[in-house]
Amino acid sequence: MIEYIRGELTERTPTHIVVETNGTGYIMAVSLTTFEALAGKKQVKILTHTVVREDAHLLYGFSAEAERKMFRALISVSGIGPASAMAALSTLAPARLQSAIATGDVGSLQKIKGIGAKSAQRIIVDLKDKIGLGGENLDFVNDSSNTVRSEALRALHNLGFDQRKTQKIVDKILDENGESLKIEDLIKLSLKRLA
């Protein structure tokens, strides 16, 4: 297994990248999330997941550990292969996927190409306890790109608001206003809707 590849980014498309290291170019399938994270970068460190099939050895690349964890969780679900997992990560950020799974939001999961109602329900049933929002799993996809969201959720939870309701409101505000909101603005907007 290859844990990561560090080298020069020589090709970048919305579906794959090529990283050259020591004269060898490694092609990896990537999600739109990773594609966007690599904008303007020349030297990169890409976390990988290897899939060995009878007819091919495939590499999947990730810019953040949270995304790779979510990919691995998704492919552990019966009927969800690497292509569906990458489609999921291209449609919803890891934090949004975690939220949809934890709250049983079948509708959000059905927005993913190739995921129908039955597959969405299977994902929720299989992963809800593993990556739900309670206890130690709260930080499952906590990375630097998700800090504002995580901090806002913690603050609102500490103020005594219901975790599931808060999660939906915070996610909706982030969808409406973009990910660039400051933490204090996100909390203020959430409090207005929770009051």
- Mean pLDDT check: name the lowest of 31-40, 56-65, 73-82, 185-194: 185-194
* CATH 1.10.8.10 location in the chain: 143-195
Question: What is the CATH architecture of 143-195?
Answer: Orthogonal Bundle (1.10)
pLDDT of 182: 80
- Structural fold of domain 4-63: OB fold (Dihydrolipoamide Acetyltransferase, E2P) (2.40.50)
| Nearest-angstrom CA–CA distance, 61 and 37 | 12
CA distances from 44 to 38, 47, 59, 80 (A): 8, 10, 16, 29
* CATH 2.40.50.140 location in the chain: 4-63
Out of 2.60.120.10, 2.60.40.10, 1.10.150.20, 3.90.1150.220, the CATH code matching 65-131 is 1.10.150.20
pTM as predicted: 0.69
| Nearest-angstrom CA–CA distance, 85 and 48 | 14
| DSSP per-residue letters across 67-94 | HHHHHHHHHTSTT--HHHHHHHHHHS-H
pLDDT of 143: 44
pLDDT of 142: 44
Dump pLDDT digits (tens) for 96-142: 888 889 888 899 899 898 899 999 999 999 898 877 554 334 344 44
* CATH 1.10.150.20 location in the chain: 65-131
